[in-house]
Amino acid sequence: MRPGERTAIAAALKVSDARFRAISDASPLGILVSDELGNCLYTNEAYQKISGLTFEQALGSNWSLAIQPEDRQRVLAEWSAAASGRTPFQSEVRFLRSDGSVVWARLNAVAMRIGKSAHGNVQTVEDITARKAVETQLRLAEEALFAEKERAQVTLNSIGDAVLTTDPEGRLTYLNAAAEVMTGWSGEEARGRPLAEVFNIIDGSTRQIAANPAQVAMAEDKVVGLAADCVLIRRDGGESAIEDSAAPIHNREGRVVGAVIVFHDVSASRAMTLKMAHMAHHDFLTGLPNRALLTERLEHAMASANRRRKQTAVLFLDLDYFKHINDSLGHGIGDQLLQAVAERLSTCIRATDTLSRQGGDEFVILLADIEQAQDAANVGEKLLAALALPQQIGDHELHVTLSIGISIYPDDGKTAETLMKNADTAMYAAKASGRDNYQFFKAEMNAEAVRHLLIENNLRRALARGEFVLHYQSQIDLISGAMTGTEALVRWLDPDLGLLQPEQFIPIAIECGLIVPIGRWVLREACRQVKAWLDAGLPVVPVAVNVSAAEFRHKNFLAGVASILAETGLAPHYLELELTESSLMSDVEASLSVLRALKAMGLQLAIDNFGTGYSSLSYLRHFPIDTLKIDRSFVCALATSEGGEGEAAFVGAVIGMGRNLKQRVIAEGVETLEQLTFLRARQCAQGQGFHFSRPLSATEFASLLVAERQQVASPSPG
């Protein structure tokens, strides 16, 4: 080649090189040329800017040294794979600049070939830092959105409320787990279905289809609540009382694009509300209306009676001797008895009448719209007859009767309070009349009620101040005339009212619950007095003490008797306990158990007022009774114009029965020689009454005992 040609070629190469450099420097892409080992032969300005390396720093160094160490191994592996497969190399890497900054770059490389031989690589480098920043932000936003969605989903599925959403046409778009359970539809099955098909709601009162809350919320563009008493019909037909609210869903422009309904099951709370409302007006034990509901109905009945020119009656009922049963057999048996009585009473009245329990053993019956007072009397008769038969409560056959007081509107009161008070007053009059009867209210009963209250209040004081005293009435052998025993009779020496007889305060003591402590005082005082007479050397006879039904049924009765005997030191055979037929027959099995325990202590037992109760002879022969006391009412009727063959026959029968059962018979209330003659003729063993002696104070009776001893020591000449 001639020199001129070489010069021309050199000049051309120089121009070509300058052109390449100018083109590469003008390119926004970084360019790196490396040999087949990857060592840098050339970089343009863009590459230098991206990598942070000057031309001199990059020249001769391996191109991978500019890559952040964490990316380097991956990129070299990708490079090798591309070289082996003779495919273009592509990768996204981070360049670590000398100042510590990082630039994201996308690499593309191809082999430089001359013919079939490779002479290195040309690599383009694009700065994608801005794009990567955007991608990172998008990824973070997506992750945040996903996390938020997950949190929302977890929250919606974990809350107790059911949630569902609809599109603008009212088709279901979403149900949470609670909504799936309550509707019976899965989210997948429900999606796209009309709301009314899945969320099927009706008015619980009318059973009509209820308004769709989602449609109302979207139409009015506001939050709306579900109608009261709404019921959701589940897919399987089951029902749940629900409460809910619905709200519109808006897009960014504020346009309504659907609705969300939030609801929850209120069946339990609604049932509790109804129960509480019922309990507020009904007795918890019997389920009967209570005082509040009765008063409301009574006021309504009085208003109705005014309009219709009719009458209304209030019957105040009290179970006789219920407290005795409750105390002896326990509240469980007492509660069952009250329930049984309530059931029996309810059969005696009309559907328009009201049977109410006031508490304890008190019931009130409201007879609305009666024509005359006799209508109330007829109901009273039915009530007494209904309770005449015994109640079987578990193993116990229980006898209870009623004392009924009746007041009539408008004659006996113009207000509910007055009618109730007057019926209550009449009920106490029924108790005073012997129980197991009804009494109409009379104006004079109020004065008696005041006296009743005065005595009740004074009784409490009397017990505390020791105002009670005992008198003793002798019991006489009708053949020999000898004293065989005595009965202790309680009296009350009231500082204002004077000496009160038992019939004046004992019924009140029974009603107000004071009979038990009074009875214990009588028993203790009688035992103490007899022991004192014994210690004084007097010829003592056994003392009889009356035991009320309340005392006999008290859970501590047996222990109390044993304690008093031990405390006073009186031998048991000097003590006789007198019990009434009614107290024994209220619960025969329990009575038999107590009687046997008393006999085991060594006490004598008597049935007082025999013939006035309803004892069964089949039971009587099993009771360990020593004495029958013929009630004074039968004895008083003997040899009188009112008395007749009936009383005489009855007294004779009792005397014969006692003799056959090996029981002594004492006739009470013997006041005349004619009565004594009759009893002797019938071979009655003993008698008690004014004919022999009136009740005497302890001092007077001690003198009688002394006289008795002298008479025995110095018998009259025969």
pLDDT, tens only, 91-105: 899 988 888 888 999
Closest CA to 330 of 517, 590, 583: 590
Burial-class residue 294 by CB neighbours within 10 Å (0-12, 13-18, 19+): buried
> Tens of pLDDT along 459-507?
888 988 999 999 999 999 999 999 999 999 999 998 888 899 998 888 8
Residue with tokens 């809910």, as numbered in its chain: 244
pLDDT of residue 157: 59
By mean pLDDT, which of 152-156, 244-248, 349-353, 385-389 is the weakest? 152-156
Burial-class residue 205 by CB neighbours within 10 Å (0-12, 13-18, 19+): exposed
Whether 183 contacts 235, CB under 8 Å:
yes
Q: Please give the class, per CATH, of domain 510-694.
A: alpha beta
Structure tokens at 455: 């005595």
What is the distance between the alpha carbons of residues 27 and 21, in angstroms, rounded to a whole number? 10
Whether 561 contacts 598, CB under 8 Å:
yes
What is the distance between the alpha carbons of residues 296 and 284, in angstroms, rounded to a whole number? 18
SS (H, E, C) 365-434: EEEEEECCHHHHHHHHHHHHHHCCCCEEECCEEECCEEEEEEEEECCCCCCHHHHHHHHHHHHHHHHHCC
Whether 270 contacts 250, CB under 8 Å:
no
> Tens of pLDDT along 291-344?
989 999 999 999 998 888 889 999 999 998 787 787 778 888 889 999 999 999
Residues with Cβ < 8 Å from 433, sequence gap 6 or more? 439
> Tens of pLDDT along 190-228?
899 998 888 888 887 788 888 888 888 888 888 887 767
Q: Mapping DSSP to helix (H, G, I), strand (E, B) and coil, where does residue 684 land?
A: coil
In the chain, ranges of CATH 3.30.70.270 domains: 287-443
- Strands 575-580 and 604-610 come out as parallel
Question: Residue 641's CB: how many other CB atoms inside 10 A?
Answer: 6
pLDDT of residue 534: 95
Whether 709 contacts 672, CB under 8 Å:
no
> Tens of pLDDT along 407-454?
999 989 999 999 999 999 999 889 888 889 999 998 887 777 777 778
Closest CA to 30 of 11, 12, 45: 45
- Strands 256-265 and 239-250 come out as antiparallel
- Alpha helices, DSSP H only, in 477-556? 502-511, 515-535, 549-553
In the chain, ranges of CATH 3.30.450.20 domains: 3-127, 159-271
pLDDT of residue 718: 38
Distances (CA, A) of 124 to 106, 107, 355, 444: 8, 6, 103, 125
> Tens of pLDDT along 19-75?
666 666 667 888 988 888 888 988 988 888 888 888 888 888 888 888 889 988 998
Q: Which is it for the CA torsion 293, 297, 302, 303, positive or negative? A: positive
pLDDT of residue 151: 64
Residues listed for the chain? 718
Structure tokens at 419: 């009618």
CATH number corresponding to 3-127: 3.30.450.20
Q: Return the percentage of the chain with pLDDT > 90, whole number.
A: 33
Closest CA to 223 of 254, 244, 199: 244
Q: pLDDT band at residue 609, thresholds of 50, 70 and 90?
A: confident
Q: pLDDT band at residue 14, thresholds of 50, 70 and 90?
A: low
What is the distance between the alpha carbons of residues 55 and 42, in angstroms, rounded to a whole number? 7
Amino acid at 609: N
CATH number corresponding to 287-443: 3.30.70.270
CATH superfamily of this structure's domain 159-271: PAS domain (3.30.450.20)
Amino acid at 178: A
For residue 654, what is the enclosing H or E element?
Answer: helix 645-660
